[in-house]
DNA sequence: TTGTAGGCGTTATCAG
DNA sequence: CTGATAACGCCTACAA
């Protein structure tokens, strides 16, 4: 077992000084061709690679970025993560991934842990609990310390930083509009129980679309489900006690579950009832019938977030003063039509 | 914007030496109560937290573990990742996640990048390309440097290290046996095209089960699909030109796709044809009909892998010599029966 | 009780 | 052309 070799060891072996070795390995022309070759050959032989930690300490940058997502099993976050990872990779950055599990406390702890030098910046989506509590002191503190932060999807207006979102309101509006144009009259909304920024915006789009087309808002047609687990009793009661001809769901899991229940109740999709869901993931594609779905372009979102963050990190290095400016990028969601609606 | 404060700054402000500050913050009884209190108060006021990078350099451990998975959108890997992250979190470790994208080169590059001091150990599943090339020099080199490594799921016998797998062979055998006991005679296998260790073992289980029950192995009943993308033409031809009454698939995506095609061809599930898939993910649960599925317990797998790794990391710290021993943990897969088979 | 010095691995500056 | 020194932030054995 040969431990990693250091400059010091090379220097000792070759009977030169550490700085000579360092320079030779960087092809500095201060060093003679002879010594340079000798040192490089030796270094190669022993697979010398500079120690990242020492470099980080010296340069005050780690080339690590911290990503905190509420839930990794949720397809949307996974795709965003993928986008982040891919872009970061091309720029030579590593991604440290933390899952907040929708918990405020885990979010805070993870952030504090990473903020102590382990990373150069954060990309995150707020946990449900954080949004409910409306407590963002940990984010503000981080920013205060000069650490770049990019929020995506689950954002808040209370924190001033770079952000990436999709046009939830418009996307939802368009989806409902489409349903109405297809002749649907009783359009239900299945959304999350807890207060999530995005769900709220999607609900607003739904309200507005109904209103603009002179359809009455019927509170009975709105079902609020717990975000994580559900035993389907609420959903079944919902379908049993209401008649509707279309459903908009704020995510694809809700949509696919709802379709199953509707089918179990003998309804034909899309003849009797149409479905549209957010999150155009694998479930939408492979559902039976395939689900018409609003693509949130998670991968693109992650890529943009990573790009914004890395730009800010690398800018910080150069100029020092210069007034900070923050951007909010809005990605346009697109409707992917499949079998659960008629076109 | 207040940058993070260091021991040095505290020392200067309070007009004491750095080591006094360091000791005071650790409640060393070398330091007088007075100074200790003064220093601690000041440190608290400025939110002093030791710099992780400096600690890593000093202690030669980072409390980071590197995880390399072939594909994060694949549900199974996601759940393993979750298990790793959760366990690591409880032990105060961070997880640096890299995606190899099934590419040998990305796997090598990522490993080399991380191996230079960024992490204390690796957990990984081999990329498809790595398994195909049978080239593991990068793993061997890593181990050689004394870096702990745990392989999971996609493993190889050519590398000696800790491993976690499920009993693929037996699981597959049991699944086929069940199908046979249900009266199925023409049982197909849908597996991956590229050589993957796990697929191979599952195929072996399939062969053995057929043989033990005196069913002939019909090569026409085996469909090999590309791992990542597929336009379904091959699958459709497969279903068109063969008649079968059951299908075993090496993952749930293949299974759900296959079910759709069978249904499109007018077959009734499970009456005309039964399906069993590996990977008991969300797709299996929400498919229509719900898919009988072999649970691989990804989360548990991740947890065990993380536990093995962290134990090795922390053992390395203490004792130095002591002969190394490596374990292979085998997790028992379980069959979750749903609507796609009759019980 | 407090401080000094050396070291973790690297680089940059300056002196020889 | 080469080497000594200081610094990044922290810890600790040893000295005062």
Residue pLDDT, tens place only, A86-116: 999 999 999 999 999 999 999 999 999 999 9
Query: Do A38 and A108 reside in the same domain of the chain?
Result: no
Number of domain units in chain B:
3
The answer on pLDDT for A131 being more than 90 is: yes
Q: Which residues, other chains included, contact A320 with Cβ-Cβ below 8 Å and sequence gap of 6+?
A: none
Asked if residue A192 is part of any domain, the answer here is yes
Q: Is B257 on the interface with A (CB under 8 A)?
A: yes
| Burial of A6 (C-beta count, 10 Å sphere; 0-12/13-18/19+) | middle
Q: Is the CB of A57 under 7 A from strand D?
A: yes
Distance B317 CA to C4 C1' (A): 29
Output phi, psi for B336, to 5 deg: -105, 110
Closest by CA position to A96, among listed A80, A110, A79, A83: A110
Please answer yes or no on whether A99 and B82 come within 8 Å at the CB atom. Answer: yes
Q: Is B303 on the interface with A (CB under 8 A)?
A: no
Per-residue pLDDT at A304 exceeds 90: yes
Residues of chain B with pLDDT under 70: 1, 194, 228-230, 317-322, 343
Could you tell me if B120 and B262 lie in one domain? no
- Residues A127, A97 share a domain: yes
Q: Which of residues 53-72 of B touch strand C (CB under 7 A)?
A: 54, 57-58, 60
Q: Is the CB of B51 under 7 A from strand C?
A: no
Q: What integer pLDDT is reported at residue A232 of this predicted model?
A: 86
Q: Under an 8 A CB cutoff, do B114 and A106 touch?
A: no
- CB proximity list for A249: less than 8 A, separation 6 or greater: A189, A190, A191, A255, A258, A275, A276, A277, A278
Please check whether strand C approaches the CB of B49 to within 7 Å.
no
Q: What is the DSSP string of B108-158?
A: HHHHHHHHTTT-SEEEE---HHHHHHT--HHHHHHHHTT--EEEESS--TT
So what's the pLDDT on residue A227? Answer: 75
Is the model's pLDDT at A16 over the cut of 90? Answer: yes
Q: What pLDDT is attached to residue B315?
A: 86
Q: What is the 3-state secondary structure (H, E, C) of B240-252?
A: HHCCCCEEEECCH
pTM: 0.93
User: What pLDDT is stored for residue A318 in this prediction?
Assistant: 62
Q: What is the pLDDT of residue B318?
A: 61
Continuous segment of H or E residues that includes residue B336: strand B334-336
Same domain as A143, residue A94: yes
Element (H, E) at A172: helix A168-181
| Candidates A51, A71, A94, partner chain B, best to mutate (most B CBs within 10 A) | A94
Tokens of A8: 């010091």
In a domain, B180, yes or no: yes
DSSP state of B291: P
Q: C4 C1' – A48 CA distance, angstroms?
A: 34
| Domain annotation covers residue A54 | no
Residue A180 lies in a domain: yes
pLDDT of residue B195: 75
Quote the tokens at residue B121. 């150990």
CA distance B67 to B100: 10
Strand bridging mode A292-295 / B162-166: unpaired
The helix (H) or strand (E) run that includes residue A67 is strand A64-69
Question: pLDDT at position A321, please?
Answer: 56
Residues 186-245, chain A: which have Cβ within 8 Å of B?
A: none
Pairwise CA distance, residues A325 & A118, whole Å: 25
Nucleic strand D near CB of residue A19 (< 7 Å) = yes
Question: How far, in whole angstroms, is CA B29 from its chain's centroid?
Answer: 46
| pLDDT at residue A317, as a whole number | 63
Confidence category of residue A237, pLDDT binned at 50, 70, 90: very high
- Residue A155, token pair as written in the block: 């954002």
Q: Do residues B207 and B288 both lie within one domain? A: yes
Is the shortest CB-to-strand distance from B30 to strand C under 7 Å?
A: yes
- Residue A135 phi/psi, 5° resolution? -115, 115
Between chains, do A282 and B94 touch, taking CB under 8 Å as contact? Answer: no
Q: How far apart are CA A132 and CA A135, in angstroms?
A: 8
Residue at B160 is within a domain: yes
In this prediction, residue A6 has a pLDDT band, given cuts at 50, 70 and 90, of very high
**Protein-contacted bases of chain D (C-beta within 7 A):** 1-5, 7-14
B111 belongs to a structural domain: yes
Tokens 């730009």: give the residue: A311
Residue B2 inside a domain? The answer is: no
Helix (H) or strand (E) holding B99: strand B94-99
Is B6 near strand D, with its CB below 7 A from some atom of it? yes
Considering the domain architecture, whether residues A102 and A191 belong to the same structural domain is answered as: no
Q: What is the pLDDT of residue B317?
A: 63
CA distance B245 to B273: 4
Distance B60 CA to C7 C1' (A): 12
Domain co-membership, B176 together with B292? yes
Top mean pLDDT of A10-14, A317-321, B319-323 is at A10-14
Query: What pLDDT, on the 0 to 100 scale, is given for residue A319?
Result: 56
Question: Are residues A315 and A222 part of one domain?
Answer: no
Percent of chain A with pLDDT over 90: 89
Residues A37 and A102 in one domain: no
Task: Give all strands of the β-sheet with A292-295 in edge-to-edge order.
Answer: A222-225, A187-192, A246-249, A274-278, A292-295, A334-336
CATH number for the domain spanning A156: value is 3.40.50.2300
Rounded to an integer, what distance in angstroms lies between the CA atom of residue A108 and that of residue A105? 5
Structural domain boundaries enclosing B215: 168-296
> Same domain, yes or no, for A74 and A43?
no
DSSP A95-141: EEEEE-TT-HHHHHHHHHHHHTTT-SEEEE---HHHHHHT--HHHHH
pLDDT at A173: 98
Summarize pLDDT for A183-226 with one digit per residue, the tens: 999 999 999 986 788 999 999 999 999 999 999 999 999 999 98
Chain A touched by B95 (CB under 8 Å): yes
Search chain A and give the residue with CA nearest B101: A86
A13 touches strand D (CB under 7 A): no
What pLDDT is stored for residue A315 in this prediction? 86
Amino acid A322: pLDDT: 60
A230 and A119 belong to one structural domain: no
Tell me if B145 is assigned to some domain. Answer: yes
* Same domain for A285 and A180: yes
């Amino acid at each position: 077992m040969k431990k990693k070799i250091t400059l010091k060891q090379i220097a000792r072996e070759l009977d030169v000084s550490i700085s000579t070795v360092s320079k030779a390995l960087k092809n500095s022309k201060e060093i003679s061709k002879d010594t340079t070759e000798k040192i490089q050959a030796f270094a190669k032989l022993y697979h010398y690679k500079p120690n990242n930690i020492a470099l980080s300490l010296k340069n005050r940058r780690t080339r690590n970025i911290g990503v905190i997502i509420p839930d990794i099993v949720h397809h949307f976050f996974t795709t965003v993560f993928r986008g982040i990872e891919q872009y970061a990779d091309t720029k030579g950055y590593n991604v440290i991934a933390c899952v907040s599990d929708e918990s405020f406390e885990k979010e805070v702890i993870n952030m504090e842990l990473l903020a102590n030098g382990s990373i150069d910046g954060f990309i995150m989506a707020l946990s449900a609990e954080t949004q409910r509590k409306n407590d963002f002191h940990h984010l503000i503190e981080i920013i205060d310390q000069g650490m770049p932060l990019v929020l995506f999807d689950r954002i808040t207006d209370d924190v001033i930083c770079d952000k990436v979102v999709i046009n939830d309101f418009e996307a939802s509006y368009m989806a409902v509009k489409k349903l109405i144009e297809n002749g649907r009259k009783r359009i239900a909304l299945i959304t999350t129980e807890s207060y999530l920024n995005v769900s709220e915006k999607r609900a607003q789009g739904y309200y507005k679309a109904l209103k603009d087309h002179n359809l009455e808002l019927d509170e009975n047609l709105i079902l609020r489900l717990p975000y994580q687990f559900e035993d389907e009793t609420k959903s079944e009661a919902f379908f049993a006690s209401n008649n509707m001809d279309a459903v908009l769901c704020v995510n694809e899991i809700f949509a696919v579950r709802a379709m199953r229940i509707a089918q179990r109740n003998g309804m034909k999709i899309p003849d009797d009832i149409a479905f549209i869901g957010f999150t155009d993931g694998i479930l939408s594609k492979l559902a039976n019938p395939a689900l018409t779905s609003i693509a949130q372009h998670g991968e693109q979102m992650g890529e943009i977030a990573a790009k914004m963050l890395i730009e800010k990190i690398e800018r910080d290095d150069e100029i020092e003063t210069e007034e900070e400016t923050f951007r909010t990028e809005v990605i346009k969601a697109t409707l992917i039509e499949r079998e659960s609606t008629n076109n």
